[in-house]
Amino acid sequence: MRQIKQSNKLQDVRYDVRGPILVEAERLEAEGHRILKLNIGNTAPFGFDAPDAVLQDMIHNLPQSQGYSDSRGIYSARTAVAQYYQSHGLTDTHVEDVFIGNGVSELISMVLQAFVDDGNEILIPAPDYPLWTGAVSLAGGTPVHYRCDESNDWNPDLADIESKITEHTHALVIINPNNPTGAVYSEETVKGLVDIARRHDLVVMVDEIYEKILFGDAEHHHAATFAGDDVLCLTFSGLSKAYRVCGYRAGWLMISGPKNAAADFLEGLTLLANMRMCANVPGQHAIQTALGGYQSVGELIGPGGRFFEQATTASRLLNKIPGVSCVEPRGALYCFPRLDPEVYPIEDDQQFVIDLLRAEKILVTHGTGFNWFEPDHFRLVTLPDVEVLTEAIDRIGNYLSTIRA
């Protein structure tokens, strides 16, 4: 019998957050080991529950959720999203500008399938959330990674972006707040990114799923507010993180800017939305309640709140380890520490995290899994409570001491 092989389209696609490191973790679990999984920003396993009002509203609407909805999403959810952006100054946003999806992930894939032709180049930050790179490759495009500057709080290097634009460049991806670095981009940076798109006639695709998870004086700036009516801006967000409902798969896409010029693209996007019938209907019913109600994430992101205390504790403890430096996250749910190559001469960072896993039973993700250029970083999820996180980082420090020795 002939060997059944994977499609060639997958040749350049990686998703190392759930890749070989997770396979090794599952093998160790099968042997009876308890693994602390700090590789995925999944809130529920760490004791974060959805707000009661969101849960109750979804349950209330279950009897009306048995059939397909409009392929773009139920009207109440799309209206709530449109009104949310109107309240943030985007007054030209209407219900017709909103698509609901099975999380942001599905919408990213749909948009890129509708937008990208073979050979189109899409600018993506490094480090990135690897779905973006993989989805561009699957759509036939070429991901081109621009560098974010660790010495500048991980803000994108605008000059590096300009240097990588060619006649084949069609879009600029922004991830703000950033996964995996925890950076929240300054107003100057966001304006600069949009200005680059304007000068080079690029579409802006902005992933803002962590927009409500901000620490200290960090302020989030919607790229769409600077795009005006001459830059097409595709804004992705959803409920998964701020409302602790990752499994509801309730995400959205908001389209702003010169929509008339994008009519053909939007027709293609609508075609793809129709082909998948609709997004998960029960999860859609959570959107109106979440966006129109009490913002309970505020209790988590201020001093004393778990998101805040865990993020600040993690970065502080990581910075105490010799040869490790970590820019304090200003948002999101992660740290992205650097291992000084002079202290830790690591050549294969995936092997490093596998060795750490075997030694300390802690699962993190290697930096090159986020398309970082050098094998000198790893990503740590900051969702465990402070006590567990402290023990985990102590164990990471213990393992690193064996490398130093």
Q: What pLDDT score was predicted for residue 53?
A: 86
Give me the percent of the chain exceeding a pLDDT of 70.
98
Residue 305 has pLDDT above 90, yes or no: yes
Average pLDDT over residues 161-176: 97
Measured CA to CA, the distance from residue 117 to residue 269 in angstroms comes to: 14
Residue 165 has pLDDT above 90, yes or no: yes
From-to residues of CATH 3.90.1150.10 in the chain:
8-49+299-404
Average pLDDT over residues 326-340: 97
| Topology annotation, domain 52-292 | Aspartate Aminotransferase; domain 2 (3.40.640)
- Cα maximum dimension of the chain: 63
**For residue 58, what is the enclosing H or E element?**
helix 52-60
- For the full predicted model, state whether its pTM sits above 0.85: yes
Q: What pLDDT score was predicted for residue 220?
A: 96
Beta-carbon-side half-sphere exposure of residue 53 (alpha carbons within 13 Å): 11
Predicted confidence (pLDDT) per residue in 51-61, tens digit? 888 888 888 98
Average pLDDT over residues 258-286: 93
Q: What pLDDT score was predicted for residue 198?
A: 97
Residue 11 has pLDDT above 80, yes or no: no
Predicted confidence (pLDDT) per residue in 365-377, tens digit? 999 999 999 999 9
Average pLDDT over residues 304-317: 96
Given pLDDT bands bounded at 50, 70 and 90, which one contains residue 17? low
* 284 phi/psi in degrees, rounded to 5: -65, -30
The dotted CATH code for 8-49+299-404 is 3.90.1150.10
Given pLDDT bands bounded at 50, 70 and 90, which one contains residue 16? low
Q: What pLDDT score was predicted for residue 295?
A: 65
The partner residues of 122 in beta bridges, in order of sequence, read 143, 171
From-to residues of CATH 3.40.640.10 in the chain:
52-292
